[in-house]
Amino acid sequence: MEENYLDEEKKQYLAGLKRYEARGIPIYIDGERPGENDWEKIFRVQEDGSFYMCDYVGADEGCLKEIRFDRVYNR
């Protein structure tokens, strides 16, 4: 049951990100616009222990300019 809950949470999170994209706010994963198969990797811990951290980048006017996911290392 918990796995289904986590899958639903991921789907809801991704749906929210795609709503931002539909409003013209670009989303980047590792500095590139993600393809349909790239979205899932933001939830996984990589083999080297790295994971993705989200950064909401604002514009000068206080509006959201872009959303970035970059790999970080816990060392």
Neighbour tally for 12: CB within 10 Å: 10
Break the chain into its structural domains and give their ranges.
2-72
Q: Cα(33)–Cα(28) distance, rounded to whole angstroms?
A: 5
**Residue 74 pLDDT exceeds 80:** no
| Average pLDDT along the chain | 90
How many Cα atoms are found within 13 Å in the side-chain-facing hemisphere of 33?
A: 5
Q: What's the predicted TM-score (pTM) here? A: 0.82
**Chain center to CA of 67:** 7
Residue 6, pLDDT > 80, answer no
Per-residue confidence (pLDDT) for residue 12, from 0 to 100: 95
Task: Tell me if 73 sits within 8 A of 26, measured CB to CB.
Answer: no
Question: pLDDT band at residue 72, thresholds of 50, 70 and 90?
Answer: very high
User: pLDDT for 25-35, tens place per residue?
Assistant: 999 999 999 99
